[in-house]
Amino acid sequence: MALKSLAEYELLAAQSHGHLCAGQILGLRMALYGIALLGIEDLAGADRKRLVTFVEIDRCMTDAITVVTGCRLGKRALKFRDFGKAAATFCDLREHRAVRVAALESSKQRARERYPEIADKNQQQMRAYREMSDAELFEHQWVTVAIGPQDLPGFKAPRVVCAQCGEGVSFGREILREGRPLCRACAGERYYTPV
């Protein structure tokens, strides 16, 4: 199955995200641009396992990117790097190449200039982001991304039990301390505080 039209993706994005917004359209356009640069066309079929996507923000556009790419956290094909930036890197596992696409800071201003008569910012940007060229919306850069086998979908590794809390740890995420395997929380990276 080939790629769908932007309008079809908009419907799917609205369903999965709960509403349609400018961020969704930007995310759809960003993902379509990224996979076009990689030459990937059949994400539902032959190219299904070709792509891993790194997203740099957890906002509306992130959901839209998963709609186009099919890359999901639960499939290990979506990686989150919390940089707070409207950017994503699309990694082609087959051709061993990757492209990072970032939304241009000027895109909001361009939307204003294009449709000054539309007072509602979201409506103004939605309309403009549908119509603006890829070059007006984005910059892209070819990059390499070090993805270890333990980070790829389908990686199999024995589950290790943390010597301190007894919880299981997958994908080699344990840390060895004085010969004992510890989970990251017990090793000092705990993000929560027991009460």
* Contact positions vs Zn ion (CB under 5 A): 21, 23, 60, 162, 164-165, 183, 186
Q: Which is nearer to Zn ion, 10 or 92 (CB)?
A: 10
Residue 17 sits at φ, ψ, to 5 deg, of: -95, -20
Q: What is the DSSP letter of 184?
A: T
Closest distance of CB 141 from Zn ion, Å: 26
Q: Which is nearer to Zn ion, 49 or 127 (CB)?
A: 127
Closest distance of CB 165 from Zn ion, Å: 3
Q: Which is nearer to Zn ion, 21 or 38 (CB)?
A: 21
Q: State the maximum Cα–Cα separation within the chain, in Å, rounded to a whole number.
A: 67
| Cα(18)–Cα(12) distance, integer angstroms | 10
Exposed/middle/buried for 75, CB within 10 Å: 0-12, 13-18, 19+? middle
How is the beta sheet containing 51-55 ordered, strand by strand?
78-80, 51-55, 87-92, 97-103, 138-143
Bridge partners of 181, per DSSP, are 176
Closest distance of CB 6 from Zn ion, Å: 16
Residue 189 sits at φ, ψ, to 5 deg, of: -100, 20
Q: Which is nearer to Zn ion, 93 or 187 (CB)?
A: 187
Closest distance of CB 91 from Zn ion, Å: 25
- Residue 19, Ramachandran bin (φ over 0: left; ψ between -120 and 50: alpha; else beta): beta
Both structure tokens of 146? 């070090």
Q: Which is nearer to Zn ion, 165 or 176 (CB)?
A: 165
Closest distance of CB 14 from Zn ion, Å: 9
